Amino acid sequence: MEYVLLFYSNLITSSALLGLILIIHFVHYKSFKFISDANFIEFHKFHVKNISFIVLPLMIIEATTSILICYFYYSLFSLANLLIVFLIWVTTFILQIPSHNKLSSGKSILEINKLINGNIIRVFLWFLKVICITYIIL
In angstroms, the CA 22 to CA 100 distance is: 18
Q: How many residues are listed for the chain in this entry?
A: 138
Segments making up each domain of the chain, as ranges: 4-31+55-137
- pLDDT tens digits for 96-138? 999 999 999 999 999 999 999 999 999 999 999 999 999 999 8
Instruction: Name the average pLDDT for the chain.
Output: 96
Q: How high is the pLDDT of residue 104? A: 96
